[in-house]
Amino acid sequence: MTERLTETDKRVDSLTGAESVMVPTRQVRPNLPDSGCPFCPGGLETPRDYRTLAIPNRWPAMPDDRCEVLLYTSVHNKAFWQLGTSQVLHVVDLWTDRSRVLGARPDVDYVLIFENRGRLSGTTIDHPHGQLYALAETPAEPLNELVNGYMPSPPPDLIVSEDRNWQAWVPEAAKWPFELLIATNDGSRRLSDAGMDRVGLANILVDCLARLDQVFDQPMPYMMWIHQRPFTDEAFAPMPLHIHIAGMLRSAHTQRFMAAAEVGGGLYFNTVDPALAARKLSDLAGHR
């Protein structure tokens, strides 16, 4: 029986002000249940077939139903882009619905949706899925962008893909070898904003993630996270809804590690020139 989390043990580093959450309960979570994949229909978490599904995280990092697993499909062996635009539209709708529902809670300020893909990124279950954290406060990374008045404006030579109201490009100061920023120019700040171009978002996600898998002709391990506006109405600059993707391989056989100088210095050393990464990614076939 698992120990139930009753409160968030969030601590602030007295040296830096950085926040850490202590989650010893997650230390004992199994890599994979003995009964096989828990997310396949008939599995531990999903007795019936489904199109997409949000379920509570059995090993939450926080109490109060703030952690959800977002299942993208009932089919086990599929890359995100292989779902195709029609199924990815259902995924976008799942992200949007759960974001709206959790964002409406009075004890939720920020909804962070993210995905870890591949063992290198630390995922323990291969079945296509993302996660959601409904946070009481806006965390440091998006808060920093909001305070800085972050407004993406891609240099033309770094653009990788465009679709309707969305653009994808390699950030000029990328930290990761094959990093992408995908942002909308339709005025949306949150997934749930009326008029958010969900078709353009589905198309560009399918295309970009296909390109990442084509770079080294193998599944690219990545971290992906969605940045949207907090659910409080503080007066931040109008940051557009956007998605970060950090592709983690720098060659076919070499992963990029965050090394001591980077962790210790807060200064990042990326061995792949963003202009070259952008050219390589945009020259690939992608997927439409």
Contacting range for Zn ion; rule: CB under 5 A; set: 63-71, 72-80, 198-206, 246-254: 72-80
* List 8, 33, 40, 58, residue binding Zn ion (CB under 5 A): 40
Q: How far is the CB of 43 from Zn ion (least distance, A)?
A: 6
Q: Pattern of binders to Zn ion over 210-239, x per CB under 5 A?
A: -----------------x------------
Nearer to Zn ion, 180 or 281 (CB): 180
Instruction: Please give the biggest Cα pair distance in the chain.
Output: 54
Q: How far is the CB of 181 from Zn ion (least distance, A)?
A: 7
Which tokens sit at 258? Answer: 């965050």
d(CA 237, CA 263): 29
Q: Pattern of binders to Zn ion over 170-209, x per CB under 5 A?
A: ----------------------------------------
d(CA 3, CA 9): 14
Which tokens sit at 43? Answer: 């599995």
Q: How far is the CB of 37 from Zn ion (least distance, A)?
A: 3
Q: How far is the CB of 6 from Zn ion (least distance, A)?
A: 31
The answer to the question of residue 127 lying near Zn ion (CB under 5 A) is yes
Nearer to Zn ion, 88 or 180 (CB): 180
Distances (CA, A) of 156 to 153, 184, 190, 201, 243: 9, 16, 25, 20, 19
Q: How far is the CB of 240 from Zn ion (least distance, A)?
A: 10
Nearer to Zn ion, 39 or 169 (CB): 39
* List 76, 164, 175, 190, residue binding Zn ion (CB under 5 A): 76
Q: Give the up-direction half-sphere exposure of residue 253: CA atoms within 13 A in the CB hemisphere.
A: 0
Q: How far is the CB of 23 from Zn ion (least distance, A)?
A: 24
d(CA 151, CA 102): 26
Nearer to Zn ion, 76 or 190 (CB): 76
Count of all residues that appear for the chain in the document: 288
Distances (CA, A) of 258 to 117, 191, 226, 244: 17, 30, 21, 17
Residue with tokens 């976008």: 92
Q: How far is the CB of 38 from Zn ion (least distance, A)?
A: 8
Per DSSP, the three-state class of 140 is: helix
Q: How far is the CB of 202 from Zn ion (least distance, A)?
A: 20
Nearer to Zn ion, 125 or 284 (CB): 125
d(CA 216, CA 253): 9
Q: Quick one: residue 195, left, alpha or beta (phi over 0 = left, psi -120 to 50 = alpha)?
A: left
Residue with tokens 């020259």: 283
Contacting range for Zn ion; rule: CB under 5 A; set: 74-82, 247-255, 258-266, 270-278: 74-82
Which tokens sit at 271? Answer: 């061995």
Specify the DSSP element, H or E, that contains 255. strand 254-255
Q: Pattern of binders to Zn ion over 130-169, x per CB under 5 A?
A: ---------------x------------------------
Q: Which residues bind Zn ion (CB under 5 A)?
A: 37, 39-40, 76, 127, 145, 227
